[in-house]
Structure formats: structure tokens, C-alpha cells
């Protein structure tokens, strides 16, 4: 029943490329200096500053901003230039490894851009920093020119104090910039990488040695092999005189132990370089295990910078499953479980809407979404003189409420006393229902946007033949999109009825009526969206497409009505 001729409509604005930049500046205490640097970032049009995380103990600030690649690179250059003017590395002291005023500057692909393209931007930015600011530049991670320089730790080995000697070594000639030592500025590492999470785990100890011991257990690099278990015993060498290393248990993890005077505790400081390989919740749980083996306890954790939504949802679902609870609940509730389970609010309040990148971007958008209105506001907006939201958006919303009811029955069933062994079965159904609900909620605004697209197309100028031709083309494109959206609503509503049917059959019998109401709502969503498919089809010139989609839509409508009758019969048998 899917329309395969178009995955996305031509009337949608061309999807722009987005990259993220996360420079680390060697200043975490002087907020005036930090503000001057971030002002440079915000001076570039199209760039969105989404996070500034200053650390007093580390004397380091992690800045995160997002935008089109060229704009982000310009903002990054301005920030590096300002940092080189304001930060004096000869006077810098902090807990974190560092070798430059702007210590590291990675570019991360976010959307509609490949890693290869991101690498090209990173190298061009590195070249500009070297040529115009004369700062020694090392390219690392995906942007590295040699395997040795791919690892940031190799590029930064010796840190600022060893930089002068390093620059004199031909093997470590910078990729760009001058080779002489700049006492005030130091050097910079510019790279391209996948999304990295800077994540610190709190321990109930002040011992850096013990924190390091756990870090070495966990990190992929591990620790050197020694003749005995004592950390002071001789290292074991191979036949070539090289150290033999015992690999740690977590792949794609870098870690060290340190003491944070600000909090009075030792931490395991981690970089999770591939969260698909080792996500936060696994790193946290493994740290708990290794800490307990050493007589220590993990008391919480700290997230530095921002995190993708998926990372928080995965963590919340992981802990919910350990509790044998349904994962088919709202994202906000899942995230709250993640925050509590990981102890992210132990050291300071944790506002996840300011830490999750998708939420930050959404909150900064100026567009007022219909789904963000309260019930009164949504009703009043619908009743107003404006033609949108109209029947299409209402059909999507009714369908979302139907799916929500099916999801509710699944969640109640997973929590029902005496049904403990069936929690996972109902959790799966709840997750399916929530997926339909979320998709339909997005269609509420999408349908209104589709209608507005038609209005915008009709308002195009039509003085010349070329303008008339373009206007006609845009009207047809917008009309087709305004057919596709309610058709997709029909599909989603009909498919969601499988959840209501299952819950009527096997769910908590005390909630059978709720499953029935959900089916009624879903069928209404199908038939309401069908009316929109029909009315918009009348304005499309492509009659072959119209005939095809109306035939498919009729089949969906017939299927939904049949399912509704079937579900209501089951419900009636349960409530008599």
C-alpha cells in the first residue's frame, strides 16, 4: 500500500547539510573570555550555538554549535582566532590534557553530509588556520593524513610542556602552520569524527590511582602487562622490546582517572567514541561492576556537552528492561529513567532539554507547532477563521489518540499483578503502539504544512509565461504532496488497529473498552484522511496517479471498517 514513486515531496525545502563543531578551549574559569569566544561563533549567520560547558577544575570549555558546513567552518575559524588572542597557554593549568589555546576542534556530520565531505571541510579549515593564524595544526581522526595521527592522544602526547621539543622532531612536523613553538598559543588538533560523548563517572573515593585502575580495566587500550599484579612491578616486553598490553573490556572507549577538586571526588573520565559499539549505559554498568570489585561504589555520572536523543532513549529502555517494565512509554518518561539510573543529576541539576541535541534544535526553532499547543489552544486554533488546521490534521490527531489508547492498554497489561511473566510481550505491543502514535502526531503539522504549501504555490507571480509555468508546476507538486500526507495517515491509522485488536483479545480485560474506543478513533482517522485524499485529488492533473491512489485508499478504508467491527465484537464479548 506504500506509494513508492516519491519518498519525499518536491515542495519540501531542499534538505540542507548540517555539521556539528565541538571545539575545546583551554579556559574554563574566566567567563568574559569564554563569552568573547562564543560571541564570535554567534556572529556567523546560520550557525546555532547549542551548548557551552565550562569546567573550573579542568580549566577547559567545551563549546557546541551546529549549522551548514561553510558557516560552521567560518564560525570555528573566528573562535580559534579570538582564543589565540585571549588565552595564554604559558599561564594555563588544568586537569585535562591539552596543548593549545584551542586544543581540539572536531567536525561531526549531523545530516545530509558524508564523512568524506566532512573530512574535506576539516582539512580546509585546518589549512586556513595554519596559513592565516600560523598556528601549528595536526589533523586527527578521520581527517588524519597518516595512521599515527589518527589517534588524538598521539597528536597531543607530551602536551603543551613537551610541544617545543615535539615541533623540532621531523616526524611530528605539523600538517599545516608554522613549525616554531608559539608559547602563547600552542598547537591545535583539527579533525572529523563520529559523534563522541564526553562522559565522567563519579566514584566514592578521592584516590586517582583507584580511579585509574578502573579506567584501565574499561578502556579499549587497557594497561601494560606487568610481571606481577603490583602497579610498580616491571612491565613485560615482547621479543622486540615493546610493551605488551592487556586490552580493556570496552571497545571504542578512552578513559583515565582524575580528581576533581570542585566536587571533592575522583572520576573516571571517558570518551565514548562510538556509542553504537559502547553506549553510555553499558559503560556505566561495567564501571559499577569493576568499582564494586575494588571495594568502591559508583555514585553517579556527568555528561559533558550534548548527547543525541537516541543515546538517552537507549539508556532509559535498558534500565526499564532490567526493571521488567514496559518501554512503550513517552520519551520524556524514558529519559527521566535514564537520568535517575545514570545519576546524571548528582553533581548539578540535569536539564535534559538543554543537553539533548534534537531537543535543543527543536526548542530554538521559531515555528509554533500545533502538537505543542494545549488542548484548549488546539481546539481554539481549529475553530478560528484560519482554514488550517483542518480535517487532515484533525484526522491525524484522532488517529494518534486511538494509538495512544491501544498503547495505554498494553502498558497497563504489562504492569498487571499476576502477569509478571508477560511484561515483555506487552512491552513490545506498547512500543508498537507508541511508534504509530508518534508518527501520527508528526502528521498533524505535516498536513497543515501541506495545505499551506498549496496556498503558497497559488500566491506565486503569474505575469510572464515562465512565471505561469513555474506557478502551475509548484501547484501540482504541492497538490500531490497534500494527497500523499493524508494517504500516509490512512495507512498509519489502519495499521495501528492491530495493536487495539491484540489488546482487546489478550490485554487487561478491565481495559477492553479502551481498546474499543481506540479502534473507533483509528477508523475515524482513516475515513477522515480519506476525505482529504479525495478532495485534494480533484486538483491534480496526473489522473493515472489519482486513480491508483484512490483505489489503494479505498482498500485501506474497507480494511479499517472491517477491523473496527471485528475489534468491537471482541470488546462486546469482554464487557458483557
The residues annotated as belonging to the active site are 96, 447
C-alpha 93: how far from its chain's center?
33
* Nearest C-alpha neighbor of 436 from the set 374, 358, 488, 382: 488
For 109, the enclosing helix (H) or strand (E) is strand 102-111
Helix segments in 115-234, DSSP class H: 115-128, 152-156, 163-167, 208-218
- 176 has which bridge partners? 137
Asked if 479 and 454 touch (Cβ cutoff 8 Å), the reply is yes
* Nearest C-alpha neighbor of 213 from the set 266, 282, 147, 276: 266
Q: What SS3 state is found at 495?
A: helix
Asked if 185 and 99 touch (Cβ cutoff 8 Å), the reply is no
User: What is each CA distance from 522 to 6, 116, 401, 556, in whole angstroms?
Assistant: 25, 45, 8, 12
Cα 357 to Cα 50: distance, rounded to the nearest angstrom: 8
Give, as one character, the DSSP assignment of residue 17.
P
Residue ranges with strand state E in 263-390: 265-272, 298-304
Cα 483 to Cα 420: distance, rounded to the nearest angstrom: 45
Amino acid at each position: 500500500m506504500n506509494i513508492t514513486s516519491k519518498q519525499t515531496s518536491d515542495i519540501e525545502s531542499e534538505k540542507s547539510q548540517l555539521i556539528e563543531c565541538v571545539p575545546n578551549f583551554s579556559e574554563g574559569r574566566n567567563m568574559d573570555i569564554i563569552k568573547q569566544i562564543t560571541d564570535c561563533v554567534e556572529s556567523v549567520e546560520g550557525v546555532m550555538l547549542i551548548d557551552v560547558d565550562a569546567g573550573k577544575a579542568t580549566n577547559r570549555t567545551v563549546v557546541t554549535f551546529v549549522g551548514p558546513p561553510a558557516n560552521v567552518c567560518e564560525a570555528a575559524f573566528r573562535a580559534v582566532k579570538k582564543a589565540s588572542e585571549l588565552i595564554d597557554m604559558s599561564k594555563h593549568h588544568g586537569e585535562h590534557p591539552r596543548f593549545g589555546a584551542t586544543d581540539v576542534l572536531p567536525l561531526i556530520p549531523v545530516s545530509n553530509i558524508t564523512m568524506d565531505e566532512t573530512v574535506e571541510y576539516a582539512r580546509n579549515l585546518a589549512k586556513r588556520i595554519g596559513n592565516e593564524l600560523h598556528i601549528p595544526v595536526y589533523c586527527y581522526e578521520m581527517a588524519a593524513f597518516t595512521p599515527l595521527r589518527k589517534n588524538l592522544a598521539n597528536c597531543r602526547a607530551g602536551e603543551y610542556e613537551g610541544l617545543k621539543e615535539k615541533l623540532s622532531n621531523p616526524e611530528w612536523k605539523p600538517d599545516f602552520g608554522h613549525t616554531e613553538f608559539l608559547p602563547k598559543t600552542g598547537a591545535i588538533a583539527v579533525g572529523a569524527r563520529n559523534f563522541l560523548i564526553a562522559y565522567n563517572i563519579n566514584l566514592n573515593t578521592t584516590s586517582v590511582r583507584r580511579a585509574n585502575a578502573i579506567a584501565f580495566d574499561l578502556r579499549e587500550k587497557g594497561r601494560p602487562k606487568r610481571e606481577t599484579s603490583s602497579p610498580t612491578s616491571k612491565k613485560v616486553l615482547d621479543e622486540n622490546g615493546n610493551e605488551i598490553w592487556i586490552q580493556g573490556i570496552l571497545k571504542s572507549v578512552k578513559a583515565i582517572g582524575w580528581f576533581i577538586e570542585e566536587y571533592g571526588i575522583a572520576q573516571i573520565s571517558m570518551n565514548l567514541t562510538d556509542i553504537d559499539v559502547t553506549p553510555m549505559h553499558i559503560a556505566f554498568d561495567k564501571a559499577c561492576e569493576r568499582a564494586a570489585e575494588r571495594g568502591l561504589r559508583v555514585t553517579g555520572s556527568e555528561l559533558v556537552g550534548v548527547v543525541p536523543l537516541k543515546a538517552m532513549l537507549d539508556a532509559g529502555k535498558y534500565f526499564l528492561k532490567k526493571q521488567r517494565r514496559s518501554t512503550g512509554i513517552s520519551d520524556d518518561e524514558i529519559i527521566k529513567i535514564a537520568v535517575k539510573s545514570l545519576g546524571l543529576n548528582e553533581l548539578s541539576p540535569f536539564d535534559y532539554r538543554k543537553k539533548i541535541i534534537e531537543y535543543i534544535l527543536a526548542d530554538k526553532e521559531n515555528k509554533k507547532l500545533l502538537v505543542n499547543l494545549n488542548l484548549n489552544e488546539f481546539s481554539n486554533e481549529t475553530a478560528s477563521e484560519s482554514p488550517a488546521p483542518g480535517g487532515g490534521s484533525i484526522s491525524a490527531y484522532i488517529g494518534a489518540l486511538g494509538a495512544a489508547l491501544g498503547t495505554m492498554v498494553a502498558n497497563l497489561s504489562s504492569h498487571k499483578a499476576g502477569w509478571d511473566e508477560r511484561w515483555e510481550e506487552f512491552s513490545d505491543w506498547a512500543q508498537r503502539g507508541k511508534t504509530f502514535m508518534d508518527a501520527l502526531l508528526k502528521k498533524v503539522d505535516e498536513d497543515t504544512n501541506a495545505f499551506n504549501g498549496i496556498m503558497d504555490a497559488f500566491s506565486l507571480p503569474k505575469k510572464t509565461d515562465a512565471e505561469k509555468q513555474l506557478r502551475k508546476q509548484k501547484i501540482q507538486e504541492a497538490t500531490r504532496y497534500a494527497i500523499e500526507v493524508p494517504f500516509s495517515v490512512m495507512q498509519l491509522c489502519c495499521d495501528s488497529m492491530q495493536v487495539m485488536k491484540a489488546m482487546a483479545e489478550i490485554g487487561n480485560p478491565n481495559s477492553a473498552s479502551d481498546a474499543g474506543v481506540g479502534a473507533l478513533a483509528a477508523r475515524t482517522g482513516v475515513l477522515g484522511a480519506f476525505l482529504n485524499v479525495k478532495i485534494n485529488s480533484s486538483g491534480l492533473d496526473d489522473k493515472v496517479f489519482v486513480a491508483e491512489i484512490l483505489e489503494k485508499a479505498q482498500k485501506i478504508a474497507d480494511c479499517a471498517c472491517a477491523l473496527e467491527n471485528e475489534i468491537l465484537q471482541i470488546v462486546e464479548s469482554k464487557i458483557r
